[in-house]
Amino acid sequence: MGARRMPCACGWRLLFFLGLLAEVHGSSSPGVDALPPTSRLFPAEVRTLRRIAVNMGISHWNFSANPCGSGGGLECDCSFDNNTMCHATEIFLRGQNFTGQLPPDFADLPNLLQLDLSRSLFHGTVPDRWARMKLQGLSLMGNRLSGPFPMALTRITTLTNLSIEANEFRGQIPAEIGHLTQLEKLIISTNEFTGPLPAALSLLTNLTDLRISGNNLSGRVPDFLAKLTKLGKLQIEGSLLEGPIPPGLSKLTNLSDLRISDLRGSGSVFPDLRGMQSMKALVLRNCSISGGIPSYIWSMENLTHLDLSFNELTGKVTDSFTNRGTVDYIYLTGNSLTGNIPDWLLRSNSIVIIRC
């Protein structure tokens, strides 16, 4: 599609290349080596798994043989008693439309490390018995779970990966979340959490991925986020928090994905992101940011997605862009930019939306 330079009496006109962006999430369960022909599950775990299968309506676990590693979402460690006995270690049951409440019996699998029950229709909350589990990864994303933040989760201190995204949890995020100091990924987006973000989040210094978008929070974007220096992904979109963007975010130099949007209250100057040379996706939409776009933004070599729309930005876009060959999306609409559209934008293969 061709493009041409247009006069810009009001600052900018619309330059639009229509495109479609689709994100595909999900991955298949990890494979395991062939099980020893004589290996079998410990009898107590067979009884537990039978109860879970009856409760959830699972029919594909074959208990007449060893159900581990047969493609049914149950993985085991069969290195016990000279490779003759197995413990269930991973259960992946995604997108199978299970209904009812979460079975408490999962807590009776002492070696279970990974549990994925995402994209089903579970309701209720997390059973209190789960507090004694030794999980490393837990995903309950995309169910109909509700009630306050489950306190049982705050006692599974072995967790490194926790996702309760896209449920109906409500109320404040408890200070006890600070007990989960081994967490590397915490995803609580798209719930109904309220109140300010607890200062105890600053204790989760191993976090590399924090997503809290789509809630009904209050208070300012907290300064303590600057303590989470390992963060590579930080998403705070549409959560009703107040600006300004704290200057301490400049310390998060490992960020490759930063998304903040729809801040209320006072405005911000453009945050200092010059040290974030790994940045791939930068979204600062509707954050009341004023002033010019810093020139270093156009020198971020890994940048593929830039959205600075609906702010109070002024001035011109640079006439040169180091990374113009790989950036896919640029959104600058709803600002007060001036001048002509740069030639590099006219020649770009990117989807670019710019207007007054």
Q: Where are the domains positioned within the chain? A: 115-353
Per cent of the chain over pLDDT 70 is: 85
pLDDT bucket at 1, cuts 50 / 70 / 90: very low
HEC per residue, the chain? CCCCCCCCCCCCCCCCCCCCCCCCCCCCCCCCCCCCCCCEECHHHHHHHHHHHHHHCCCCCCCCCCCCCCCCCEEEEEEECCCCEEEEEEEECCCCCCCCECCHHHHHCCCCCEEECCCCCCEECCCHHHHHCCCCEEECCCCEEEEECCHHHHHCCCCCEEECCCCEEEEECCHHHHHCCCCCEEECCCCEEEECCCHHHHHCCCCCEEECCCCEECCECCHHHHHCCCCCEEEEECCCCECCCCHHHHHCCCCCEEEEECCECCCEECCCCCCCCCCCEEEEECCCEEECCCHHHHHCCCCCEEECCCCEEEECCCCCCCCCCCCCEEECCCCEECCCCCHHHHCCCCEEECCC
Mean pLDDT in residue range 118-130: 98
- For the chain, what is the mean pLDDT? 87
pLDDT bucket at 218, cuts 50 / 70 / 90: very high
Convert the pLDDT of each residue in 159-203 to its tens digit: 999 999 999 999 999 999 999 999 999 999 999 999 999 999 999
- Which fold is adopted by the domain 115-353? 3.80.10
pLDDT bucket at 265, cuts 50 / 70 / 90: confident
Convert the pLDDT of each residue in 65-108 to its tens digit: 888 987 899 999 999 999 999 999 999 999 999 999 999 999 99
